[in-house]
Homo-oligomer: A and B are copies of this chain.
Amino acid sequence: MKRFLVIIFSKILALYPFDIDVWLSKRKNFIYSCWISNAFQSVGKGTRFERHIFTKGGKNIRIGDNCMFFRGNIIDAWEHYGGADFSPTIQIGDNCVFGRFGQITACNKIVIGNNLLTGAFVIISDNNHGSFSYSDLLKKPKERDLISKGEVVIGDNVWLGDKVAVLSGVHIGDGVVVAANSVVTHDIPPYSMAAGVPAKIIKTIENN
């Protein structure tokens, strides 16, 4: 009997179809995209953001055309952290797709080429909280200075799997594939696949 009532109730709710809900959600995301675009230095045409994105220092962030940011992405360019001042830059090319709940965080410089595809929960960071020195380790981690080992540069047509971390100073070449859950701490040459914690280069197409 209870099961029967549940089925009837479900059929009634089906009067509002799931596909309509998805369609409406896309319209809301379009409006949201128009609004949130104002938070950045520049956003190219056709670029869309799912609700909700968070950003700091948006005036240092340039985003190209036809990008897609799924929900929960954080894009931070730190102008100030603790006592220190930074001149961060985040530059994202065209046709990039960022999976849900990703994070891009810069106090130095992150340059992403065209057509990047990331899975969910990916972090791209050009900084660390403090160095590995005794004096720093005695401080509260959140009060340690942001330290960048160098710019992060990601080429064209790169695919970063789910939960990948790309850390400071790393250059990733064109056409690279990074497997799920990998932590990229060193450069990856073009047309390579990398995997592991830390990521190792599994194979490279040399004579292209």
Contacts and interface: CB of A to CB of B under 8 A. Distances in A.
Interface in A171-198: 174-177, 179-183, 191, 193, 195-198
User: What is the oligomeric copy number?
Assistant: 3
A123 B197 CA distance: 18
A129 interface: yes
| A-side interface mostly | loop
A1 interface: no
A133 B133 CA distance: 44
Interface string A154-186: 000111011101010000001111011111000
Contact of A10 (B14, B34, B138, B177): B34
A197 B101 CA distance: 22
A111 B128 CA distance: 26
Interface string A10-32: 11011011100000000000010
Nearest to A179: B183
A193 to B, nearest CB: 6
Interface string A124-163: 0000011011100111111000000000000001110111
Contacts of A112: none
B95 A140 contact: yes
Given A38-B14, A183-B181, A197-B196, A157 B139 contact: yes
Contacts of A115: 140-142
Contacts of A11: 38
A120 interface: yes
Interface of A: 3, 6, 9-11, 13-14, 16-18, 31, 34-39, 45, 55, 58, 95, 97, 100-101, 103, 114-117, 119-121, 123, 129-130, 132-134, 137-142, 157-159, 161-163, 165, 167, 174-177, 179-183, 191, 193, 195-198, 203, 205, 208
